[in-house]
Amino acid sequence: MDAQKIILPILEKADVRINGDRPWDLQVRDRRLYGRVLRKGSLGLGEAYMDGWWECPALDELFRRLLAARAEAGLGWTLPEIWNRIQYAFFNLQSMRRAFQVAEKHYNLDNRMFERMLGPSMFYSCGYWRDARNLDEAQADKMALICAKLGVQPGMKVLDIGCGWGTLAGYLASRHKAEVTAVSVSAEQIAYAKAHSAGLPVNWVLDDYRNIVGSFDRIVSVGMFEHVGRKNYDTYMAEARRLLRPEGLFLLHTIGGNVDKNGVDPWIAKYIFPNGMLPSITAVGKSIASRFVMEDWHNFGAHYDKTLMAWEKNFSQGRTSRDFTCSSRGLRMFRYYLLSCAGAFRARSIELWQILLSPEGLPGGYDRRIHPDQAAARAFIRDRGGRSDRERQAA
């Protein structure tokens, strides 16, 4: 079987050429690429890129074209894809016992790398670019948007599930005078958050969300639901409902898929986010039913394209200037991850949702005419960046 003859028509459908002169064309360095992709699909394509078997100046646009043309359908079912689907169908890959694996694989990497890639906000989630001119403003505006939607008031008890490096929790405590409990399964993230929030009333907790106790006025979860998994959606929503007071609000910020399916891209699962899975509208809706009233569902997935492109630029510049240590293979892995995901959001094959939920329904309904305090959020991020610069200079 001539693998190249099978793959070329798939590429042609996406207007991608082999060794062409356009930025999104594939430059093949090793002809074994065709057989590897035919056998292993997306996993083979990504591993071949990491091994230097092919190049592409504009990976983001290549993937936009491949995904828009549904090129993966032309390959049929590969063994890695079949095994991936079987695992997600029959096993709970996001059980409590396995909850810390994603932190060990990804989030516990060198914080210097994340600082350089993400910028002073240290937000590893989509920015809100409506009024923003750069990444820092987009992340500050996202934080302001969340706080405005939740209507956080001084003295409220707020739970942040999957708090990352603690920026939102710190802002809620500092600007909104809330009493915050912030939870993560990453020891590195919790240590970083503690070191950058001295004096703020935040209770930092290294634990799984299923172990949290208490009663909260507001719950927020940003970029964590992707690690929960279909078999745990009901448990997650039941836990959120248990922890939220009857008059409270819960904001869920998550990437979502347009197709309802088990599994995730095999390359992403192996190299970036083990056990992860993107929820669908159907899956989220079923887990919400009988537990919450859906007050608002906001999709700004197109904004993730800009966010990922900014992260990739920061990452590549940081590695060039040796702000952190990264092997050549690690560089290729991260560029492939960031730019392929940018292409996926640009093709609108995946989305970003903010879903606002209440236990019993807000009297009179939710009013979308909110006024995010962008100026205060941007000042908080600028000050955080200034502190980080001073800390690096002192070190």
For residue 11, CA distances in Å to 18, 66, 121, 300 come to 8, 7, 38, 29
| Residues 6+ away with beta carbon under 8 Å from 313 | none
Measuring CA to CA, which residue among 288, 272, 279 is closest to residue 255?
279
Count how many Cα atoms sit within 13 Å of the Cα of residue 292 in the half-sphere of its side chain: 30
> What is the token pair recorded at 317?
């510049």
Which entry of 56, 126, 163, 341 is annotated as an active-site residue?
341
Instruction: Give the Cα separation of 357 and 143 in Å (integer).
Output: 18
341 catalytically annotated: yes
| Residues 6+ away with beta carbon under 8 Å from 169 | 158, 160, 163, 180, 182, 193, 197, 202, 204
CB 251 within 8 A of CB 149: yes
CB 263 within 8 A of CB 84: yes
Instruction: Give the Cα separation of 250 and 320 in Å (integer).
Output: 41
> What is the token pair recorded at 387?
């502190």
Which amino acid, residue 10? Answer: I
- Active-site residue set: 341
